[in-house]
Amino acid sequence: MNIVLLSGSVVGSNTKAALTYVEEILKNKAPNATITFLDLAQYDVRFSDGRHYFEYEGDTKFVAETLMAADIILIGTPVFQASIPAPLKNIFDLLPVYGLRDKVVGILATAGSQKHYLVMEQQLKPILFYMKAHIVPTYVFIEEKDILRKKIINDDTLFRLDRLVEDTFDLREANAFIKEKKEAEFDF
């Protein structure tokens, strides 16, 4: 199984801190999986110009191809200006129309306050649905007060992140089962 953690911002540390915790859970839960941490702050990704994702070069090609090869994607994102950050939106623009088909996507968001907790619901999920992802319905919303110096200090948040990983694996298993059953109907 191929799991990618995508940190969707080029600034800040809270999203990365939360995803790093998730990465630890994943390593314990799925020791045989290939786990890749894509921190967009570490890559020089260019804006989408409409070409096929594998026709880019350098970091852009690497990031796009890594995501396209994933079975599971766990997206971590801050909220900027009442929206998802531009680098994260650009990732979706780089991928094909139905680029997330057959992939399971889990979401965690970090923000300064509760004010924009519906951004995931109203902005991120519609994009993921359009790209045909299987989305884990419940996401984890993490506030400034839940993190201190890159460590999560709220037990409720920790439990919810554990649960997010569990739900992600369950959804992956269910969808893989359904796909296999469906394709068994065809003899080509």
Point out which span in 51-59, 84-92, 139-147, 168-176 binds other proteins (CB under 8 A): 51-59
Output the smallest distance, CB 51 to other proteins, in A.
5
Q: What amino acid is encoded at 70 in this protein?
A: A
Point out which span in 16-24, 39-47, 77-85, 179-187 binds other proteins (CB under 8 A): 179-187
**Considering the rule CB under 8 A, would residue 46 count as an interface residue with other proteins?**
no
**Considering the rule CB under 8 A, would residue 51 count as an interface residue with other proteins?**
yes
Burial of 108 per CB tally in 10 Å (0-12, 13-18, 19+): buried
**How many other β-carbons are positioned within 10 Å of the β-carbon of residue 161?**
22
105 DSSP β-pair partners: 73, 135
Buried/exposed 28-56: b ≥16 CB within 10 Å, e otherwise: eeeeeeebbbbbbeeeebeebeeeebeeb
Output the smallest distance, CB 53 to other proteins, in A.
6
Output the smallest distance, CB 184 to other proteins, in A.
10
**Of 49 and 156, which has the nearer Cβ to other proteins?**
49
**Considering the rule CB under 8 A, would residue 180 count as an interface residue with other proteins?**
no
Output the smallest distance, CB 136 to other proteins, in A.
22
Q: What is the contact mask toward other proteins in residues 76 to 115, using x (rule: CB under 8 A)?
A: --------------------x-xx-x--------------
Bridging pattern class, strands 72-78 and 151-152:
unpaired
Positions touching other proteins (CB under 8 A) are 49, 51-55, 68, 96, 98-99, 101, 182-183, 185-188
